[in-house]
Amino acid sequence: MTKSLMCHFHLYPGTPSYGLAPLHRLAVLVEGLGVRQLNQRVDETNWPEELRILADNFNRLLIRLDDAFSRMSRFSADIAHELRTPLQILRSEAETTLSRERSPDEYRQCLESGLDEYARLARMVDALLFLARSEQADTALDCKQLDLQTELQSVCHFFQAMADEQGISLRAAATGQLWADQGLVRRALANLVDNALRNTLQGGSVTLRAAIQASGNAEVRVSDSGCGIAPEDLPHITERFYTADRSRQRRGQGSGLGLAIVQSIMHLHGGTMTIASIPDQGTEVALHFPVMTGSAGQNTAV
């Protein structure tokens, strides 16, 4: 659209005829657009009725681009902020240790104390890379038929030792086959079970359920009897780097990227995630996988 308008403008320079004046204004606006001018809008006053849809659509495109660019720059600022503090701590620990001669034990202690933080930073960078890649338009899914009970069991098996250590019962019950990307489904489930275990106290329970509905959609639910999420946090917890205060007091602090990853995995499958939670009673996260039209396989109930 932009190109043809520009051509028109250059082929017929000078003052455009009255009927083409709006297109001329649009061409001038487009020519001056850059990342910093995305808050500009086409002034539709005096636009002929038949061209108004063009102005409306163009303004809506600008709003979407403006929003996407703002989110990207906030995200970059958040990344810088999240990385700066741990890097400063690691650096000052190393500087303090090197400020005078120390025993081999002290050097070892300094290296060991940084290990957890290095691991957390590595996980964060891995999560950020995953999110960046999953947003690329050409991200391909490697779908196959998955037995839901087997998938849920395998995630439970992975977390069993952690659940036992915390005195939490971890169970799975599922029927049916899901047509989806196995690696991504496991990653989404692992993030949800990790959250559930991290936010549930000793004696609590975490349950995974899955079934195929009559419509052919698959539904996977991860519920816990944990601390729950405050209503004011609920709309934000899928935002990148968002961590709620309630759970900050519980074991270990995460980066606030787990649910954003689950969300993007569901987008890749054309599905959705919904979260319901009652403070001090528990949380249930439901993943809805739709029937994939035109794909080689389908969700099946058995």
In whole angstroms, the minimum distance from the beta carbon of 230 to Mg ion comes to 16
Report the residue from 55, 170, 244, 292 that binds ligand ATP according to the rule CB under 6 A: 244
Integer Cα distance of 278 and 281 in angstroms: 5
Buried b (16+ CB within 10 A) or exposed e, 94-120: eeebeeeeeeeeeeeebeeebeeeeee
Angle at which helices 2-11 and 21-32 cross, to 10°: 120
Report the residue from 166, 207, 225, 247 that binds ligand ATP according to the rule CB under 6 A: 247
Report the residue from 254, 262, 265, 289 that binds Mg ion according to the rule CB under 5 A: 254
User: Is residue 184 a contact point for ligand ATP (CB under 6 A)?
Assistant: no
Q: Cβ contacts of residue 241 below 8 Å, gap of 6+?
A: 78, 82, 255, 256, 257
Report the residue from 229, 265, 273, 287 that binds ligand ATP according to the rule CB under 6 A: 229
Q: CB under 6 A: which stretch of 17-25, 57-65, 176-184, 240-248 binds ligand ATP?
A: 240-248
Closer of 163 and 259 to ligand ATP (Cβ):
259
Task: Look at residue 154 and give the partner it binds from Mg ion, ligand ATP, none, a contact being a CB closer than 5 to 8 Å depending on partner kind.
Answer: none
Residue in this structure with the two tokens 């940084």, named with its chain if needed: 114
By CB under 6 A, name the binding residues for ligand ATP: 191, 195-196, 199, 224, 226-229, 237, 242-244, 247, 254-260, 283
